[in-house]
């Protein structure tokens, strides 16, 4: 009875933020989960006949402004009539776009400039609590992380492009991983800023296979670790086999890293189809597998926490199965999913990144030919009646 009472307290605290009042009599049998509708009219149309390409990062700042980064080079020739001087539409938008809560475009910048090495392939964007914007780099030769002000002024670069060159100069040049390098990185996928200790956590990444933690001002490496908190290893694990024992190392890419309010570190081991949890010193805590039979690019692409004070839920983006999993953070149990594959609002093609705002709304971006930013409006907690909700269309 004490356990049931404690569980009721946790549910009631979370519910008070979400504006939902639980039915006490039903708590023991009814599973509640966040409920969302897609907003098909958000964001508003871009100016200047701009198009966005593969949209490879999203972040929400302290003002509830939504930041995305995309790859202009992923737009194909027949999309760029204005850029190619063939007609009035269309042109590639700048790489970094900032939207206000209403969906208006309020800022844009990015690309090569003096004093820094713009990624050959950008990957991930993080707007931190100090008003800075961090950008990862996962091009073949990228080993750097960039830090800008919110208006695009360059602040600092950590790492240098090209440092992993094998020394060969012919067409067969290779790039060497080194997951124990204290000064440079290996195609970073995602960055998380932790304000209490002024640290940045790197999902490092597409070439390296580790979590790396840096001082946010100097860039000095403070610690790093691999799967299960072990020393990172740059070994080929071969193709993922769902019937094999769980891999003792991360596969490429290590695709996301986030720190929760209770200072647990959550890491997306994408192709191993698992979410691993650590203490901030790298001590392994637990793991969960999602859609374990998934092959190819894997199922655990990115995550975001719900915005109640306890961060009761985790939202995990799956760009292979085209859905968002809703998990309880304490147990890592999957409660339900939203989304489906397709081109309509509320559907996905290559869902890549996910973020939440202070109101509990979800924002997603899509890579490959998805090339899109979407908003999902939080509608409160509801009883889970289906494990797969499908397209979260209003009024369904």
Burial of 182 from C-beta contacts in 10 A (0-12 / 13-18 / 19+): exposed
Closest CA to 257 of 320, 300, 299: 300
Question: Residues 6 or more apart from 331 whose CB is under 8 A from it?
Answer: none
8 Å CB contact between 179 and 212: no
Handedness of CA 358, 255, 372, 35 (dihedral sign): negative
Which residue shows structure tokens 């737009």?
A: 75
Q: Can you give the pLDDT at residue 162?
A: 82
Residue among 120, 73, 49, 53 at smallest CA distance from 352: 53
Q: How many CB atoms sit inside 10 A of residue 245's CB?
A: 6
Cis peptide before 90 (omega within 30 of 0): yes
User: 2.120.10.30, 3.40.50.2300, 2.40.390.10, 3.40.50.1820: which CATH number matches 35-383?
Assistant: 2.120.10.30
pLDDT value of residue 173: 55
Of 195, 97, 98, 113, which is closest to residue 157 (Cα–Cα)? 113
pLDDT on residue 16: 43
Q: Tokens at residue 48, please?
A: 């200047």
**What residue ranges of the chain have pLDDT lower than 70?**
1-29, 164-175
Q: What is the pLDDT of residue 235?
A: 86
CA distances from 282 to 180, 216, 232, 334 (A): 14, 18, 11, 25
**Cα angle, residue 291 at apex, residues 286 and 294 outer, rounded to 5°:** 120
User: SS3 of 33, please?
Assistant: strand
CA dist 130 to 29, 188, 297, Å?
43, 21, 34
In whole angstroms, give the CA distance from residue 267 to residue 250. Answer: 10
Instruction: Return the pLDDT at 15.
Output: 46
Nearest residue to 132 (alpha-carbon basis) of 254, 219, 261, 52 = 219
| Counts for the chain of helices (H) and strands (E), in that order | 1, 26
């Amino acid at each position: 009875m004490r356990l049931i009472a404690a569980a009721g307290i946790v549910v009631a605290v979370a519910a008070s933020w979400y504006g939902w009042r639980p039915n006490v009599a039903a708590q023991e049998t009814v599973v509640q989960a966040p409920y969302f509708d897609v907003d098909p009219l958000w964001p508003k149309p871009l100016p200047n006949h701009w198009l966005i390409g593969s949209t490879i990062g999203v972040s929400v700042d302290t003002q509830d402004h939504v930041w995305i980064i995309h790859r202009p080079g992923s737009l194909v020739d027949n999309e760029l009539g204005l850029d190619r001087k063939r007609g009035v539409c269309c042109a590639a938008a700048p790489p970094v776009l900032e939207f206000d809560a209403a969906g208006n475009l309020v800022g844009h910048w990015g690309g090569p400039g003096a004093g820094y090495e713009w990624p050959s392939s950008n990957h991930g964007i993080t707007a931190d609590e100090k008003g800075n914007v961090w950008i990862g780099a996962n091009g073949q030769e990228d080993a750097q992380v960039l830090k800008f002000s919110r208006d695009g002024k360059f602040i600092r670069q950590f790492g240098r492009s090209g440092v992993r060159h094998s020394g060969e100069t012919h067409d067969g040049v290779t790039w060497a991983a080194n997951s124990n390098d204290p000064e440079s990185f290996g195609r970073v996928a995602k960055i998380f800023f932790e304000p209490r200790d002024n640290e940045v956590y790197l999902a490092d990444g597409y070439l390296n296979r580790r979590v790396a933690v840096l001082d946010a001002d100097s860039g000095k490496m403070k610690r790093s670790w691999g799967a299960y908190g072990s020393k990172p290893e740059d070994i080929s694990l071969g193709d993922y086999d769902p019937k094999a024992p769980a891999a003792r190392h991360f596969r490429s890419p290590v695709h996301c890293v986030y720190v929760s309010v209770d200072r647990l570190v959550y890491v997306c081991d994408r192709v191993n189809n698992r979410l691993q949890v650590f203490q901030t010193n790298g001590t392994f805590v637990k793991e969960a597998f999602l859609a374990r039979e998934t092959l190819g690019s894997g199922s655990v692409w990115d995550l975001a926490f719900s915005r109640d004070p306890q961060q009761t839920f985790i939202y995990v983006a799956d760009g292979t199965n085209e859905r968002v999993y809703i998990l309880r953070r304490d147990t890592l149990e999957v409660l339900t999913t939203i989304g489906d594959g397709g081109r309509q609002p509320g559907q996905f093609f290559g869902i890549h990144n996910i973020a939440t705002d202070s109101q509990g709304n979800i924002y997603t971006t899509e890579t490959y030919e998805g090339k899109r930013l979407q908003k999902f409006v939080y509608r409160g907690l509801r009883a889970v009646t289906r494990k797969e909700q499908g397209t979260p269309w209003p009024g369904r």
